[in-house]
Amino acid sequence: MQTVRRPLNLVPRYSAWSLLRARFARGPFWRPLWAGRKLQDAYDVVVVGAGGHGLATAYHLARDHGIKRVAVLERRLVGYGNVGRNTTIVRSNYLLPENHYFYEDSLRRWEQLSRELNYNVMYSARGVLDLATSDDDMSSLARRGNAMRLAGIDAELLNQAAIARFAPELHPERNRRLPLIGGLVQRRGGTVRHDAVAWGYARAATALGVDIIEDCEVTGVRTSAGAATGVETTRGYVRADRIVFAVAGHTGAIGRMLGLKLPIETHLLQAMVSEPIKPLVSTVLVYVYNHGEVYITQSDRGGLVMGGFLDGFPSYTREGQWYRLEDVVKTAVELLPQIGGVRILRHWAGTNDMTMDGSFIIDRIRYDNVFLNGGWCYGGFKAIPASGAACARLVATGTAPDLIRNHGLGRFATGRILDERGGGPFPVRQ
């Protein structure tokens, strides 16, 4: 693992030594992590969107490829979008090789990320447990688990006694309408503190000389002779040799800027958190019951973080529908009756790029020097470290690394789609 280069002029490296120096420093010692950079007229690469993917891409462009002049332009604030709105789960338990190799690369990077960024992202390998209530569920979990094991990824099929040992809060021996008969666990899966990921990458990228400019909306792309030459922003025109769009949720707007229609619909995904309770949920539980789905984790503060399916129709509002919140809560209480009296404190929603096959897109788009990192569906947060590295390599070298070679836009036209669920070209069913 490469170490981060010495900070330029700001962000002291976090260590016992810097704590000690801060204790005896005259005047302020700690500085803002990324603020205060000025927007320049021209850059080698302009990354649009300071979410997880944009910041990670900028970080890897500077660290792995030595690209000096990189800017990240953000319409709102660092981490305002989905990097701060997800349920913080990381895992690589996908069926399709194109997906599980990519997400496994990401999970390996998560394991090292706190050290690499010199920033505690609180990766917690508490395991991800997909539950089964029927023999059919068990066969499909076994199929997925076997596909993972063939790729060298950890997966274990558990029977009822084993899930009782792994997650005693489930009491699977208890009489239920649909019995919990087993599950598939990925023990290295777990959770990561989502905000810390945005802040950690922003700090590390700033230390490498990347300019992060907040409150700067990109409104258009200027082109000349079949190539993009720069972006129009609310703070004026910025020249750029290469442009990367990482604005998942609003990728449709990028399509319109470039005169393209994309295989994406924008849908809402809700999440919610309960009041803090004593430690109860020891892992990440994933459970489908009738038409509801829930995934539950317990945060370090004690809140139960829960999410479920999409709201079910296109929306840019970030306002979740009541019926979905109800579904998620009902399914959670069906799974863990002991949380029936716990109150929901907050709920929120994020806009998701839902692609026609449920898998992401990293590719050139329209021009040779314009790149799209988007279409993340539900898989955006857990993908951040691998996405940043792979996208930076594509932008810097012009060639897509193997991990994302099959994730191009062209797959929809050739029919080589990556449809994890086999649901057909309907984003709402992915």
- For the bound state, the minimum distance from the C-beta of residue 214 to other proteins, rounded and expressed in Å, comes to 22
Q: How many CA atoms lie within 13 A of 354 on its CB side?
A: 23
Q: Is 261 in the site for other proteins (CB under 8 A)?
A: yes
Radius of gyration of the chain (CA): 22
In angstroms, give the least distance from the CB of 356 to other proteins. Answer: 5
Residue 30 or residue 426: which is nearer to other proteins going by CB? Answer: 426
Count of residues that interact with other proteins, criterion CB under 8 A: 28
315-to-7, 249, 351, 354, 356 alpha-carbon distances in Å: 42, 10, 7, 11, 16
* Residues 48, 232 contacting (CB under 8 angstroms): no
Instruction: Compute the least distance from the CB of residue 325 to other proteins, in Å.
Output: 12
Query: Would you say 66 and 2 are in contact if contact means Cβ atoms under 8 Å apart?
Result: no
Q: Determine the interface stretch with other proteins among 95-103, 238-246, 312-320, 358-366 (rule: CB under 8 A).
A: 312-320
- 219, 322, 397, 402: which one binds other proteins (CB under 8 A): 322
Q: Number of C-alpha atoms within 13 angstroms, CB side, residue 243?
A: 28
- Cβ–Cβ under 8 Å, residues 57 and 383: no
**Is the alpha carbon torsion for 347, 352, 358, 364 positive or negative?**
negative
Given the complex with other proteins, which of 127 and 249 has the nearer CB atom? Answer: 249
For the record, the structure tokens of 293 come out as 């789905």
Q: Which is nearer to other proteins, 372 or 384 (CB)?
A: 372
One residue of 265, 294, 373, 376 binding other proteins per CB under 8 A:
265
Q: Rule CB under 8 A: is residue 413 a binding residue for other proteins?
A: yes
Q: Tell me: does residue 312 bind other proteins (CB under 8 A).
A: yes
* Per CB under 8 A, 173 contacts other proteins: no
What is the full DSSP assignment across 118-163? TS----B---EEEEESSHHHHHHHHHHHHHHHHTT---EEEEHHHH
- Kindly state the smallest distance separating residue 321's Cβ from other proteins, in Å: 7
Owner of token pair 């020891």? 282
Q: Which of 173, 275, 300, 319 binds other proteins (CB under 8 A)?
A: 319
HSE-up (13 A, CA, CB side) for residue 301: 9
Largest CA distance in the chain: 69
Positions in 182-241 near other proteins (CB under 8 A): none
CB of 396 to other proteins, least distance (A): 29
Rounded CA-CA distance 94/103 in Å is 8
Burial state string for 405-414 with b = 16 or more CB within 10 A and e = fewer than 16: ebbbbebbee
- Determine the residue type at 347: H
N-to-C CA span, the chain: 36
Which 110-169 residues touch other proteins, going by CB under 8 A?
A: none
Bridge partners of 186, per DSSP, are 128
For other proteins, which stretch binds (CB under 8 A), given 44-52, 187-195, 213-221, 419-427? 419-427
> Candidates 22-30, 294-302, 311-319, 369-377 — which segment interacts with other proteins by CB under 8 A?
311-319
Minimum distance, C-beta of residue 95 to other proteins, in the bound complex (Å): 22
Nearer to other proteins (CB atom), residue 81 or residue 183: 81
Taking residues 271 to 310 in sequence order and writing x for each that binds other proteins by CB under 8 A, - otherwise, the string is: ----------------------------------------
Report residue 324 as tokens.
């979905």
Residues 352-411 that bind other proteins (CB under 8 A): 356
What the block records as the tokens of 371 is: 């790149």
Q: Which of 29, 323, 368, 421 binds other proteins (CB under 8 A)?
A: 323
66-74, 187-195, 234-242, 314-322 -> range binding other proteins (CB under 8 A)? 314-322
DSSP code of residue 34: S
Residue from 264, 384, 404, 418 touching other proteins (CB under 8 A): that is 264
Q: Is 430 in the site for other proteins (CB under 8 A)?
A: no
Least separation in angstroms between CB 357 and other proteins: 9
Residue 207 vs 254, nearer CB to other proteins: 254
Tell me the residue length of the chain: 430
Which residues contribute to the site for other proteins (CB under 8 A)? 251-253, 255-256, 261-266, 312-317, 319, 321-323, 356, 412-413, 425-428
